[in-house]
Amino acid sequence: MTFDLEYNSERPTMRIPEYGRHIQKLVNHCMALESKEERNTMAKAIIDVMGNLQPHLRDVPDFKHKLWDQLHIMANFELDVDSPYETPSKEELQEKPEKLPYPKSASKYRFYGTNIQTMIDVALTWEEGDMKEALIFTIANHMKKCYLNWNKDTVEDGVILEHLYELSDGKIDFRNMEEGLIESKNLIKVRSTYSKKKNTNKNKNRKK
């Protein structure tokens, strides 16, 4: 007794594997139909089946448009049917996307995040006075907390204030201030308490 086994490696390549080989065979059969009217009828039926196989796409804008584009891709852009949308081109699909510029705002102190730089820029626009000084002091404490989150369990205030001086292009100089920042152990304690509460809430939700 012999078995005629068919291996996937010997089968034609599926252009969109998510839909499976049977959908690809339906598309191929649709392309082989001689009558355009028959192709139109079958293409619409295939679109309906594709929609049922991808229910999560129903919330995507232009849901039907996406399905028709995928149909043309599976047909290698050779399916002659009356599509309700403009038929995409192979060149458009193969066109390389534009390169995204690397964020230049990120400094060598990436562990502070971009929001810190934004806060510093805002602080520089404030008038001199107690409010501005309080804001800068808050920013410095937040920088210290960020530093502890990503680097060590302790850091000297002088390091944070030096970084603040650099990030403000020398416009904020608190390096010689007498008042110290919040102690590292207190910032770590706050972080630890927050993590415990978060884990407790997760466990409660799991039990429910």
Contact by Cβ (8 Å): 144, 187:
yes
How confident is the prediction along the chain (208 residues), in pLDDT tens digits per residue?
Answer: 566 677 777 777 788 998 999 999 999 999 999 999 999 999 999 999 999 988 887 777 888 999 999 999 999 999 999 999 998 888 888 888 888 776 665 567 888 888 898 899 999 999 999 999 999 999 999 999 888 887 767 788 999 999 999 999 999 999 888 788 888 878 776 555 545 555 555 555 555 5
> In angstroms, rounded to a whole number, what is the distance separating the alpha carbons of residues 115 and 136?
14
Output the pTM of the full model: 0.49
Long-range CB pairs of 86-94 (<8 Å, 24+ gap) are none
